[in-house]
Amino acid sequence: MKLQQGGTLAGFIIGLLVGLGAALAVAVYVTKVPVPLVDRGVQRKPGQDAIEAERNKDWNPNVGLSPKPAPLGMPPAAAPSAPPAEPAASPTPPAAPTAAPAQAPAKADPLGELIQQRTTGPGPVAAVETAPAADPFNYFVQVGAFRGKDEAESQRARLAMLGFNVQVSEREQAGRPVFRVRLGPFGNKADAEAQQERLKAQNIETALVRVQR
């Protein structure tokens, strides 16, 4: 049992030493191999910067993009000629001014026309109506003619009581006096006929008499 434990411990120590040795060998190898893109231990010379500046003086970064220069002895390529200019067009005459559109007549104002008709009155009458001529006669309504004056006055009194204003006039007829009882005179026939109708309504006989003025 003790021998087995001693062998296990010795194996563990031996393995540990072997691992440390391998790690040490890898570390030594890595330090000796140069790292890419890193110049270890290289120091720049004092005049190297001036040499690089002189080298880069005429360096053109766009040299790959520009066309190659023409060989010596050959004329440079002619520049493309510009297209011939088109002849100048003749100036267009200015367009004649268009006439302004005629304005539409103003809309009639029906209200204004109605007011004007009312204020100015009707237009001239084609045929002027002639005024009726004055009646050349006077009209009387006679209610009796008597030979005696007393009979005529009695008739006048009776008509006065009925509201009629009558007069008694005397005239000679066939060599004898006649007393007439009349209403009037009236300037027109219509007024005389109106009084005649009133007397007929009272059952009084009448006669319409026309006398030249």
- Domains parsed from the chain with CATH numbers: 137-212 (3.30.70.1070)
Taking Cα atoms as reference points, which of 190, 182, 178 lies closest to residue 209? 182
The token pair at 72 is 């010596």
Longest dimension (CA), the chain: 219
Contact 65, 71 (CB under 8 A): no
Q: How does residue 39 score in pLDDT terms, banded at 50, 70 and 90?
A: very low
State yes or no: pLDDT of 201 exceeds 70.
yes
Nearest to 167 by CA among 154, 156, 179: 156
Q: CA–CA separation, 22 vs 28, rounded Å? A: 10
Contact 139, 182 (CB under 8 A): no
- With b for 16 or more beta-carbon neighbours within 10 A and e for fewer, the 77-94 pattern comes to eeeeeeeeeeeeeeeeee
Exposure class string for 22-44: b at 16+ Cβ within 10 A, else e: eeeeeeeeeeeeeeeeeeeeeee
Q: Render pLDDT for 152-185 as a digit per residue (tens, 0 to 9).
A: 999 999 999 999 999 999 988 888 999 999 998 9
At residue 95, the pLDDT reads 58
How far out from the chain centre does Cα 45 lie? 94
Contacts 24+ apart (CB under 8 A), 48-52: none
Residue 122 pLDDT > 90, yes or no?
no
What whole-number percentage of the chain has pLDDT above 70? 58
Least confident segment among 66-80, 124-138, 141-155, 167-181: 66-80
**DSSP one-letter code for 148:** S
pTM over 0.75: no
CA distance 179 to 143: 11
**Nearest Cα to 184, choosing from 204, 156, 209?**
209
